[in-house]
Amino acid sequence: MEEKLKELKNRLQEIYDLECASSVLGWDQNTYMPPGGGPARARQLALLRRLSHEKFSSPGIGKLLDDLQPYEESQPYDSDEASLIRVTRRKYEKAVKVPPSFTAEMARHGASSRNAWVEARPKNDFSMVEPYLEKSLELRQQLADYFPGYEHVMDPLIDYSDYGMKVSDIKLLFGELKKELVPLAEKIASQEPPDDSCARQHFPEEKQLMLGLEVAKRIGYDFDRGREDKAPHPFATRFSIDDVRITTRVLEDDVRGALFATMHESGHAMYEQGVKKEFEGTPLGRGTSSGVHESQSRLWENLVGRSRGCLSYFYPRIQEVFPEQLGSVPLETFYRAVNRVSSSLIRVYADEVTYNLHVMIRFGLEIELLEGNLPVRDLPEAWNEGYRKELGITPPDDKDGVMQDIHWYGGGIGGGFQGYTLGNIMNAQFYEAVLAAHPEIRSEIEKGKFSTLYDWLRENIWQHGSKFTTHELVERVTGGPISIEPLVNYLKTKFGEIYNLK
C-alpha cells in the first residue's frame, strides 16, 4: 500500500507541476507579456492544461485509487492519507467526465478572450468581446452537459470552485442576506455620508506600491516566498508553496484602491503559503474553495484592514508616506473615508455593505445567461438595469460597467462570483470564532501585532489546504453550518456606529 500511495503521489506531483507551469504562464500573461505574445500564449496554455488533464484522468490514476480504497477505509477520515485519496478521487471522478481536448479548447479560448478584453476595455468597446463571450457561454454550457442530472446548469460549474454548493443553496443564502443588506444600505443612505475627499487626492504610484508592500509584510505575507507585481486586475497565484504571488492595481487619485487590494490579495497568498508543507504537489495542497479563499482575503482586507484598530496602527505610517496629502487629516476622518458606504460602479472598490449587491447582480446575470434567457448582446443593458435596480446608479459606460471584471472575459461564466459573497459570510463567522478564542487580538492589532490571528488562521484553516470541504471546515471552526448572522451583526454594529443609526 505504501508503494501505491507513493506512486500516486509521484503521478500527482507531475500533474501539479504542470498546473503550476500553466500558472506561471498565466501570471506572465497578466503582468508583463507584450501585446504580441497573446496568440502563442493561448496555445501554450491550452497545451499545458491538456497535458495535465490527460495525465490526471488517465486510467492509471483510477486504478491506483481503486487499489487504495481499502487502505483509505482503514484510516481515520481526517487523516492526511485518507483525505488525500478521498479528495483525489472526488476530483478524478469529475476529470474523467471531461475530454482533455475540451479542457484545452477552454484554455485556448479563455486566453484569447482575455487578450481581446485587455484590448477592448480601454476602448470601451463591448462589441469586440461579444463574440468571445458567446463562445465562452457555449463552452460553459457544454462543460455543464458533461455532468448530466444536474439540478441547475450552473451547479456543475460552481462545483469546481465551491464544491458542495448549488444554485438553490446559494440563492437561499443570498436572499436572506439581501433582506438584511438592502434596509441597512437604505438607512445609511438617508444619513449624511462621511467626507472622503482626503482619500481622493493625488497619491504617486511608487509610494502607494511601497506602502502596500510594507503593510503586506507586516501582516505576515512572506516575501521570500512571494512577490507583488502590477496587473490590470489584481489576483493571487501559486507556483509552489514557496512561491505564491500577488498583483495589484494602483489608482493615483484614490489611496484606498491599491492598499486594500494588496491586503486582500495578501490574504489569499497567506492562505496558500500556510498550507501544510506535506500536501505540496497533491490536490490537498491548495485552498479548499473559492468561498473559503475569499473569506481569508476579505477578512484581512475588511474585518482587519478597515477596522479602526488596524488603521490606528498603520495610519501614522501612511501619513508619513503622504505628509502633504494626509499629514493634517485626523485618523477618524481617514477611518470614515475608507468605510464610506455608497452605491458605486466598481465591485472591487465597493464598501462592505453594498459589495454583496455587486456580487448578486453578477450571480443573477450568470444564471440568466446560462439558462439561455439572456442573449449576450443584451448583457450590457441587463447589467445597467441591475445596477439601476439594486444600487440606484447607471454605469456611464461599459468599461466601468459590464467590462470591469476579468472573470467572464477569461472564459469563466458561472462559478466565479458566488465565492466572494460566500467568503464575506464565512469571514464574519471565522472572525467571530477567532475573537471568541483570543479576545486579545483586537488590542494586539492596535499595536501592530498580527501573529496571534495569523497563527490561529494557519492552525485552523490554512494548514488543512483542501483536506476538508467548505462545509466541513465551517463546522469544525465554528461548530455550526454556514450562517449569515455573524456578517449581518458585524455590519450593523460597525456601520451603526459610524453612521449613528438607531
Our measurement of the distance from residue 167's CA atom to the centroid of its chain's CA atoms, rounded to an integer in Å, reads 18
Q: Determine contact, residues 85/72, Cβ cutoff 8 Å.
A: yes
Residue spans of beta strands (DSSP E) within 61-101: none
DSSP string covering 471-493:
HHHHHHHHSS---SHHHHHHHHH
324 binds a second copy (CB under 8 A): no
Residue of 93, 145, 195, 242 interacting with a second copy (CB under 8 A) = 242
Q: Least distance in Å: CB of 213 to a second copy?
A: 13
Helix then strand then coil, % of the chain, to nearest 5: 70, 5, 30
60 binds a second copy (CB under 8 A): no
Helix 38-56 and helix 80-95: axis angle, to 10°? 120
Compare residues 277 and 447 and give the one whose CB is closer to a second copy.
Answer: 277
| Site track 149-188 with a second copy (rule: CB under 8 A), x = hit | ----------------------------------------
Rg (CA), the chain: 22
Compare residues 54 and 332 and give the one whose CB is closer to a second copy.
Answer: 54
Q: How far apart, in whole angstroms, are the C-alpha atoms of residue 271 and residue 427?
A: 13
Q: Is 355 exposed, middle or buried (0-12, 13-18, 19+ CB in 10 A)?
A: buried
Q: Least distance in Å: CB of 269 to a second copy?
A: 11
Q: Determine contact, residues 417/366, Cβ cutoff 8 Å.
A: yes
Footprint of a second copy on residues 261-320 (CB under 8 A)?
A: none
Q: Least distance in Å: CB of 442 to a second copy?
A: 32
Q: How far apart, in whole angstroms, are the C-alpha atoms of residue 357 and residue 351?
A: 10
Q: Cβ atoms within 10 A of the Cβ of 318, count?
A: 21
Footprint of a second copy on residues 195-234 (CB under 8 A)?
A: 222-227, 229
265 a catalytic residue? yes
Q: How far apart, in whole angstroms, are the C-alpha atoms of residue 234 and residue 303?
A: 19
Q: How many residues bind a second copy (CB under 8 A)?
A: 37
Q: Least distance in Å: CB of 43 to a second copy?
A: 6
| Site track 21-40 with a second copy (rule: CB under 8 A), x = hit | x--xx-xx---xxxxxx-xx
Residue of 30, 44, 57, 384 interacting with a second copy (CB under 8 A) = 44
Which residue stretch of 118-126, 182-190, 208-216, 242-250 sits at the interface with a second copy (rule: CB under 8 A)? Answer: 242-250
Residue of 4, 9, 11, 43 interacting with a second copy (CB under 8 A) = 43
Residue of 5, 47, 331, 348 interacting with a second copy (CB under 8 A) = 47
Footprint of a second copy on residues 407-446 (CB under 8 A)?
A: none
Sign (positive or negative) of CA dihedral 69, 464, 431, 228: negative
Which residue stretch of 47-55, 306-314, 450-458, 489-497 sits at the interface with a second copy (rule: CB under 8 A)? Answer: 47-55
Compare residues 115 and 325 and give the one whose CB is closer to a second copy.
Answer: 115
Compare residues 72 and 228 and give the one whose CB is closer to a second copy.
Answer: 228
β 243-248/228-230 pair status: parallel
Q: How far is CA 144 from CA 14, 45, 137, 156, 469, in A?
A: 27, 22, 11, 6, 21
Q: Determine contact, residues 45/107, Cβ cutoff 8 Å.
A: yes
Compare residues 160 and 239 and give the one whose CB is closer to a second copy.
Answer: 239
Q: Classify 346 as helix, strand or coil.
A: coil
Footprint of a second copy on residues 3-22 (CB under 8 A)?
A: 13-14, 17-18, 20-21
Q: How far apart, in whole angstroms, are the C-alpha atoms of residue 342 and residue 498?
A: 13
- The grid cell for 72 is 483509505
Identify the active-site residue in 72, 180, 265, 390.
265
Q: Name the residues annotated as catalytic.
A: 265
Binding site for a second copy (CB under 8 A): 13-14, 17-18, 20-21, 24-25, 27-28, 32-37, 39-41, 43-44, 47-48, 51, 222-227, 229, 239-243, 245
